[in-house]
Amino acid sequence: MRVIVDEDLCLGCGVCEELAPEVFSMANEPFAEVLVDPVPEEYEDDVRQSVEECPEEAIIITEE
């Protein structure tokens, strides 16, 4: 699985970092960045939950 954060949509709320801190970081605000590419299998469920809970729909899974 690969994932991207659309910088134009991300408001930096941090939901993704809370749900999948191994994959997303807010260290370089104002928006989230992806730390690992591709996403390790053990974090895929957390990434899917992040996609579902992102209030701006800024997280996009590009392949599975």
Q: What is the CATH number of the domain that holds 15?
A: 3.30.70.20
Q: At 58, give phi and psi (nearest 5°).
A: -90, -10
Structure tokens at 40: 């390790």
pTM exceeds cut of 0.85: yes
pLDDT at 8: 95
Distance CA 35, CA 49 (A): 17
Which residues form the domain of 13?
Answer: 2-63
What's the pLDDT tens digit per position in 17-60?
999 999 999 998 899 999 999 999 999 999 999 999 999 999 99
Q: Is the bond leading into 55 cis (omega within 30 degrees of zero)? A: no
How many domains does the chain divide into?
1
pLDDT at 64: 63
CB 35 within 8 A of CB 22: yes
CB 1 within 8 A of CB 47: yes
Q: For residue 16, is pLDDT > 80?
A: yes
